[in-house]
Structure 1
Amino acid sequence: MKSKRVLTVLFMVFSIAFSFSQERTKKELRTDRKLETANLIQVLIDSKEFTFIGRKAIPQGYSAVDLTTNDNFLEFTPTLIKSEMPFFGRGYSGIGYGGDKGLKFEGNPTEFFVMKGKRSFEIKAVVRGENDVFKIILSVFFEGSATLTINSNDRSSISYYGEITTIENLK
């Protein structure tokens, strides 16, 4: 009788231990989430149609500016790049005061390159606006974040931190 109880208790202990050993660890779940995010980023980059949404602006020589309450985007397609990004920084020439123009332009990219690195994609594009030429460098990291840098002939360089999403999510 005593041996039956011992066997029953041992059976229950091993059953419970075995069931817990089958669960996935937090590290495995985190790794799976990272892989899933990296695959989604890969699909977006391969489609060459996505939107960058800025969360923070980092102007040259100034402190960071929070953009979560400002509507802003930079829409990428192979035939058109459209920007509605705010600008905080120094204008060199051809810019009037108080115009609230920001970095608002759209045009066909004269250059559009996508390069895959070890931890990120780098997209380089050149767009001619109405009065200026904009050089765009977008680094998209596999975990989902992105850094955008826009260089202009008439303004100082500015960087933005944010993320990319599909164009449909913006509308």
Structure 2
Amino acid sequence: MKNIKLIVVIICLLASANSFAQLSGKAKRQQKKELKMQEIEQLVNNQKFTFIPRSLTTSSGYSKDLNFSYELELNQDSTKAYLPFWGRAYIAKINDEGGILFETTADDLEIKTLHEKGFEVRFKAKGKEDTYQIKMEISKQGYTSLFITSNNKSHISYYGQIEAIKKK
């Protein structure tokens, strides 16, 4: 009889310890999520971040996963982009470098807070021979949709994440 009571007590103790460990795991995940939200909010408010695309979608609906080091960097009032382009070019250039490439100032920069959803960042950038209107929808966890409209090319969208600018 004593053995049965001892076994029941041990089982109860193990069950309560297991539930305590699960609660602490949930608390750790929640704390990590909140830290990520604060980091993203700081990056957006300081206007210093790099967007790393993981996939693109053309205006015709073609999707492609990306596994190269493409990026769009916003550093306060300056911006630079090295992004691939698939789609229709309305004006063909003989010496066109291809893709979306620019290093310029971010004109008409607007940042809106979308309450529970995250942030919206809009600006214009002028490349060598093209002007781009850029819209970014950034979630509180850093997941980002980037939409680019160009004067000389069809619109294109990218999906990825933002992160702090890496020192080179």
Into which bin does the TM-score normalised by the smaller protein fall?
0.7 to 0.9
- Say what the alpha-carbon RMSD is for the aligned residues: 2.3
Q: Could you state the TM-score of these two structures normalised by the residue count of structure 2? A: 0.84
Consecutive unaligned residues in structure 2, runs of 5 or more? none
Contact 1:111 1:127 in 2 (8 A): no
Consecutive unaligned residues in structure 1, runs of 5 or more? none
Relative to its length, the structure with more strand (as a share) is 2
Give, in whole Å, the separation in 2 of the partners of 1:56 and 1:97: 28
Contact 1:78 1:112 in 2 (8 A): no
Give, in whole Å, the separation in 2 of the partners of 1:97 and 1:32: 53
Pair 98,108 (structure 1): closer, same or farther in 2 beyond 3 Å = closer
Give the aligned partner of residue 82 of structure 1: 80
Give the aligned partner of residue 21 of structure 1: 19
* Bigger Rg, structure 1 or 2: 1
1:43 to 2:26 alignment: no
Q: What's the secondary structure of 2:22's corresponding residue?
A: coil
Q: Give every structure 1 segment of 4 or more consecutive aligned residues whose post-TM-superposition deviation is greater than 6 Å.
A: none
| Correspondence for 2:98 among 101, 108, 120 | 101
Q: Aligned pairs, how many?
A: 166
Give, in whole Å, the separation in 2 of the partners of 1:7 and 1:72: 64
AA partner of residue 14 (structure 2): I
Give, in whole Å, the separation in 1 of the partners of 2:60 and 2:155: 10
AA partner of residue 36 (structure 1): L
Give, in whole Å, the separation in 2 of the partners of 1:90 and 1:30: 44
Q: Could you state the TM-score of these two structures normalised by the residue count of structure 1? A: 0.83
